[in-house]
Amino acid sequence: MGGLSFVYLIVTTFFPEHKIRTMRSFISGRVPQLRELLITITILFSIYITIIAVALFYLGERNLIDNFALAMSAVSTGGWIPNSQILAGLTIPEHTVIIAGMILGALPFGFHYAFVRTKFMSINISKEVALYFAIMVAATTIFLLSMNVGSMDSIFNIISASTTTGFQTINLQNLNPVAGIIITVAMLIGGCGFSTAGGLKVFRLINLAGIRNLFRKNLTRSDKNEIITALILAISFPTIPLFVANHMQSLGYDFEDSYFDAVSALTTTGLGTGTVTASLDSFTITMFSFLMILGRIEIILLLYMFVPKLIP
């Protein structure tokens, strides 16, 4: 619930319904009524979680409670695990099941809604979903070719980054420059709009493609605001972590590792290179905490609150 309804509840608190329906820069796809949203999310995601948990139970040897915890964490792209070693002994079928759960969490709510509400069991592959899968395939291929790790570990960790889940099965301190850039970009882009994933969101990349039309006279105010919002966020997401990384460097930490961990915090991913530990001073911990909160409520929400002109 933390990924979808929490954000939606915040938005409905600040904005009337007629405004929410025009805020396409925040929510992609159809905007359902709050009651309808909660019911659909509860039922559909409960089904997802149950199927994944049962599949893990039959494919592995873990107890059912651990399986449900892992399934919930995957679908909500939360990244929490029942114990620190639970991902170490995963088989290929178990990896595949968890990957499916992470991807489900990163798909837009419109995809799930169409799956059960419009035409039952129909698959709606929108431009955003198609682009998201293309990004995952490209990132996984480059990561696999640049790192000397197994193919399943490469696929698992890239999808974990692109869905901003945070499941980690390799030591990220050993990343080469190419692999480090790829996994950082995957976190920054994140999943699809109105999903449990964090990041910039794929549909805003599509909006950015229209920047060449920004000064056209026949461009509507709504479309113009969408492009401007996407541009602001595309600049903000990679820039904000720089301040934290510079602060960490002044404390003696590696800049690249610090930037990676700051991006991970802002995109609510949770992957880490080891710079964020209990030994950090309270001010630095507060900075990372702020990044996590900012990433969860989304920078765009603050823009709408403090720059209302961006609302169509």
Lowest mean pLDDT among 79-93, 164-178, 179-193, 291-305: 291-305
What would the two tokens of residue 66 be?
A: 């651990």
pLDDT above 90: residue 150: no
pLDDT above 80: residue 220: no
Other Cβ atoms within 10 Å of 294 Cβ, number: 17
What is the identity of the amino acid at 164? T
pLDDT above 90: residue 219: no
- pLDDT tens for each residue of 101-110: 999 999 887 7
Polymer length of the chain: 312
Tokens 């709606």 found at: 124
Mean pLDDT of 238-267: 95
**Three-class SS state of 149:** coil
pLDDT at res. 38: 67
pLDDT at res. 229: 81
Q: How far apart are CA 291 and CA 268, in angstroms?
A: 8
Mean pLDDT of 91-115: 87
Within 8 A by CB and 6+ apart from 191, the residues are 77, 105, 106, 107, 132, 162, 163, 164, 197, 198, 199, 201, 202
Q: Which of 280, 147, 29 is nearest to 156 (CA)?
A: 147
Counting beta carbons within 10 angstroms of the beta carbon of residue 299, is it exposed (0 to 12), middle (13 to 18) or buried (19 or more)?
middle
- Please, where are the H alpha helices in the chain? 5-14, 17-20, 34-59, 64-75, 92-106, 109-113, 127-146, 151-162, 177-189, 202-208, 221-250, 255-266, 282-297, 299-306
Q: How far apart are CA 175 and CA 35, in angstroms?
A: 45
Higher local confidence (pLDDT), 215 or 119: 215
Mean pLDDT of 60-82: 88
pLDDT above 70: residue 125: no
Q: How confident is the model at residue 305 (pLDDT cuts 50, 70, 90)?
A: low
pLDDT at res. 4: 52
Instruction: Name, of 13-27, 121-135, 148-162, the range with top average pLDDT.
Output: 148-162
pLDDT above 50: residue 121: no
pLDDT at res. 289: 94
pTM assigned to the model: 0.84
Q: How confident is the model at residue 18 (pLDDT cuts 50, 70, 90)?
A: low
